[in-house]
Every structure is written in C-alpha cells, then in structure tokens.
Amino acid sequence: MHIDDTVAAISTAPGEGGIGIVRLSGENSLDILNKIFVSIKNKDTSDFSTFTMRYGHIIDPSNNEVIDEVIVSFMKAPHTYTKEDVVEINCHGGVVPVKRILEAVLKCGARLAEPGEFTKRAFLNGRIDLSQAEAVIDMIRAKTDSSMNEALKHLEGKLSNKLKAIKDRLVDMMSHVEALIEFPDDDIEELMYGQIENDCLEISKSLEDLIVSSDTGKILREGLNTVIIGKPNVGKSSLLNALLEENRSIVTDIPGTTRDVILEYLNIKGIPINIMDTAGIRNTEDEVEKIGVQRTLEYFNKADLIILMLDYSSELSSEDEEIFNLLGNKNAIVLINKVDLDRKLNISKVKEFVNEKRIINLSVKTGEGLENLKDEIYAMVYKGEVKYQSDVLVTNIRHKDLLIKSRTSLMEAVNTLSRQMPLDLVSIDLKQCVEYIGEITGENVHEDIINRIFSQFCIGK
C-alpha cells in the first residue's frame, strides 16, 4: 500500500507553552516547507540533511508577511516516526502561532491529519504493529510511573515479540501437520499426535500466563475503580481528602453531607486509582439524598474495589448491616475509622459479618492506618507476585479477549488430537489460533477495528 498525501497537524497540547510544534508527514513535506520557510542564510530546503534543524521564519504564502520565528527539523524517509518524510516546525508556544502556521501549511497542499494519523501511518507503513500503536496512546494517558513503564515496554515491542515467538511456533507446527496430511505416514503418525499435543499444551501455558497477567495489567492501564461506601458521617469524604492531600470533598459533622458521587484520580505506589466518594447509604425521605444513595449503589456495582467504612466511635447500626449484606463476594477492604475516639463499635460482631475481608483500623484525623490501607491496595493489585514486575503484562482488554479466543482454539486442537480425529481438523484450529494472535498485532484485523483504535488518539499524534 502506498500513502501519497501529506498530512499536517498541531502536535503540541493546545494552550500556552514554551514551544508549539506543527508536524507534517508525507512525500511533499519538504516541498510544502520550502513554500513558507525562509532561512537567514537563504538556503532552500533541497540540501536539508536528515535529522538536522534550521533556523528561520515562516511566511504567510498569501501576503508574504512573517508569521513567526521558528526552528524546523527534517527527518528523511524511511527512518522516521511514520517511515515517511517528516518535517516539524517549532514555533513559539501559544494558540495563535501554531494555528496560523498550520493554516499556511494546509494552504500549500497538506491535508489536516486525522486523530492518530501519524501513528496510524507508522503502523500501516510497518514500523510498529497494532499493539505497539495502542501502547502509544496508553503512554499519553498513563497517570503513574508504573502505567507508563508498562506502556513503554509494549511500545518497544515486548508483547509483540512474545506473540511473534508464539506465532512462529504455531506456524511451524502447522507446516508439520500439513505435511502429514499430504504425505500420510502411519509409522510416525502416532508419534506426531503426541508431539503436537504437547506443543499445543506448552503454547497454551504461555497464553494462559499472558491472560492471567491482564488482571493486573488492566488496572495499570485503566485504573482501579475504587468506591468508598458507608453510612453517613463515618468519614468517607475525609478519607478522600486525606488520600488526595487536598480539600476536595465537603466534610461536615452533619450526616448526609455528600449528595453526589465525586470522582478523583490517585497514585498509590504507582497504581492508578479512580477513587469515588459517595453519599452515605441510609433510608431517607430527602429527594436529593435519595438520588445520591441510588448513584452510590450504581457505582458500587461497577467497582473493582470497595472501601467499606465503619465508625469506631458508634455502635453498629442497621445501616451498617445493610451494607454488609450488599458486599457478597465483592473485592473489599473494611476500614474502621475514628480510632482516635472511644470505642463503641462491637468489633467481633463486625468480624462475624465480614470474616473473610481484610479489616484495617484507621484514623483519618491523625493519619494512623493510612499507610496500611495503601499497602493493602498495592498487595491486592499485585497479589504479592513479583513475577509481574519484570515481565510484560497484558493491559488491554482487546488483547485479553483475543488471547482467550486463541487459547480456546488451541484447546480444541488438543481435544481433536486426543480423540485421534483427522489432522485436517487440527490444522483448522491451529490456523484459527494464529489468526486471533494476528488480530492483536494487526496483521489480519478488520479496518473498522483499526479505525476505532486510532479514533481514540489525540490530533497530532
């Protein structure tokens, strides 16, 4: 496939900044630049060496007026971000210079790039595979160091290489199977059945390891959805504020203070947390509060982790018990807050309700127990297994779903083999398995899916 138009976009974030960048990619990039760029030394761009920069001015082609003082860089195909000629115009940061330079570039024949089009070209031109392109957006969205490190590993091809190794093995097996179908040989057939079955099981184990890693990986990419619930006045909003180290939520000693769900983002030991403070759960006649309680329950159902708060200084109430009943087998930590006050809470009774959940004593007021809470969340996410920290994690649900499908095909092959059914059927299963892996890397994936992935990108990426 040959892409023959040249695209341009503002690649820096909108707003005021030190520098703004307008990026061009495509075979006319340098010609377009030549129409609007004048260097002090009056050199034209024909002898612009790759990966060098030049100082000069951008001129408005319609009236020859200077738009801005700039530095331009040139990267020659194919060793560039997109594998096409790339020009970057570094102008003064601010909304006007980048916008006017972009207009000038468009007037001279560039087309406005779609969101993610530079990265899409890097994919279509074969510099990176689809899973690496997806990592580019994860990189931009990452809220913590751990999330970013994981995205970088994907970007650098750690997952792609693993998948490639798996695919190579499958293709190898397929050729053996094909050979045996074409030239049946009773002497080795039985031996081959066992051998292929073994290989399938081994590959299935590698797929399984990747699938398991997605429990942690998804959290690093999307954040752990954590909902603080409890009856009114136990200190939910105080906890949110303490974790954020700012007064985000209104705190008063009036029960029913919080009426809506308040969402904030936290970084707990590198784990991105989407934390939600909610309206205290109770039966109420107040119309606004009722809606708030309803919302609390909706978020409760979607949560990855529930932080259930109790009040050390008050007796267990029917409201607390109602919340215990909601918990079921939800992933939850029980926090007993206000341990700085005198105890009225019957702790052994709490334990009867939530015997298998972790209970942590805390005082938001003094800060006691806050570190224990953070340690517990970290341990839950990493499940205490260090193996995830060095190896690559599957972070993307699309990838996880395809890995599950490819493993299912592989297990179908195993099933076929163990029942000594014809090898043609095994061949079909193996082919299916390879195709699912190819959907992750983008070798064979429907255009709609590619478009959907890149449409999530920002402009200029």
Ligand X SMILES: Nc1nc2c(ncn2[C@@H]2O[C@H](COP(=O)(O)OP(=O)(O)OP(=O)(O)O)[C@@H](O)[C@H]2O)c(=O)[nH]1
**Binding-site residue ranges:** 23, 88, 127, 233-238, 252-258, 277-280, 461
Closest distance to ligand X from the beta carbon of 357 (Å): 19
Residues in 256-285 at the binding interface with Mg ion, rule: CB under 5 A: 257-258
The binding track of 123-142 with respect to ligand FFO, each residue x by CB under 6 A or -, is ----x---------------
Among 16, 52, 53, 79, which residue interacts with ligand FFO (rule: CB under 6 A)? 79
Helix axis angle for 130-141 and 423-441, nearest 10°, is: 40
From ligand FFO, ligand X, Mg ion, none, interface partner of 284 (C-beta below 5 to 8 A by class): none
Judged by CB, which is closer to Mg ion: 11, or 237? Answer: 237
Among 141, 164, 290, 365, which residue interacts with ligand X (rule: CB under 6 A)? 365
Among 24, 30, 58, 75, which residue interacts with ligand FFO (rule: CB under 6 A)? 75
Q: Is 344 in the site for ligand FFO (CB under 6 A)?
A: no
Count CA within 13 A, CB hemisphere, residue 14: 5
Q: Is 238 in the site for Mg ion (CB under 5 A)?
A: no
Instruction: Spell 200-227 as b/e; 16+ CB within 10 A means b.
Output: beebbebbeebbbbbbbbbbbbbbbbbb
State the pairing for strand pair 224-230/271-277. parallel
Closest distance to ligand FFO from the beta carbon of 122 (Å): 8
Q: Is 369 in the site for ligand X (CB under 6 A)?
A: no
Of 245, 226, 216, 243, nearest in space to 371 by CA: 243
In the chain, the largest separation of any two C-alpha atoms, in whole Å, equals 84
Residues in 229-248 at the binding interface with ligand X, rule: CB under 6 A: 230, 232-238
Asked if residue 395 lies in contact with residue 138, where contact means CB atoms within 8 angstroms, the answer is yes
Q: Is 121 in the site for ligand FFO (CB under 6 A)?
A: no
How many angstroms from the chain centroid is the CA of residue 461?
Answer: 16
Residues 6+ apart with CB under 8 A from 134: 154, 396, 398, 453
From Mg ion, ligand X, ligand FFO, none, interface partner of 121 (C-beta below 5 to 8 A by class): none
Judged by CB, which is closer to ligand X: 103, or 376? Answer: 376
Q: Is 420 in the site for ligand X (CB under 6 A)?
A: no
The span of 8-16, 184-192, 256-264, 343-351 binding ligand X (CB under 6 A) equals 256-264
From Mg ion, ligand X, ligand FFO, none, interface partner of 238 (C-beta below 5 to 8 A by class): ligand X
Among 166, 224, 262, 364, which residue interacts with ligand X (rule: CB under 6 A)? 364
The span of 164-172, 195-203, 254-262, 305-313 binding Mg ion (CB under 5 A) equals 254-262
344 phi and psi, to 5 degrees? Answer: -125, -15
Q: How far apart are CA 310 and CA 445, in angstroms?
A: 50
Of 133, 45, 113, 125, nearest in space to 80 by CA: 125
Q: Is 337 in the site for ligand X (CB under 6 A)?
A: yes
Q: How many residues bind ligand X (CB under 6 A)?
A: 24
The span of 75-83, 189-197, 353-361, 430-438 binding ligand FFO (CB under 6 A) equals 75-83
State the pairing for strand pair 37-39/52-59. antiparallel
Cα separations (Å) of 364 from 275, 277, 346, 354, 457? Answer: 16, 14, 20, 22, 40
Judged by CB, which is closer to ligand X: 33, or 251? Answer: 251
Q: Is 454 in the site for ligand FFO (CB under 6 A)?
A: no
Q: How far apart are CA 113 and CA 31, in angstroms?
A: 18
State the pairing for strand pair 358-361/305-311. unpaired
Judged by CB, which is closer to ligand X: 291, or 449? Answer: 291
User: How does DSSP classify residue 56?
Assistant: E
Q: Is 11 in the site for Mg ion (CB under 5 A)?
A: no
Closest distance to ligand X from the beta carbon of 401 (Å): 38
Asked if residue 276 lies in contact with residue 228, where contact means CB atoms within 8 angstroms, the answer is yes
Residues that bind Mg ion (CB under 5 A): 236-237, 257-258
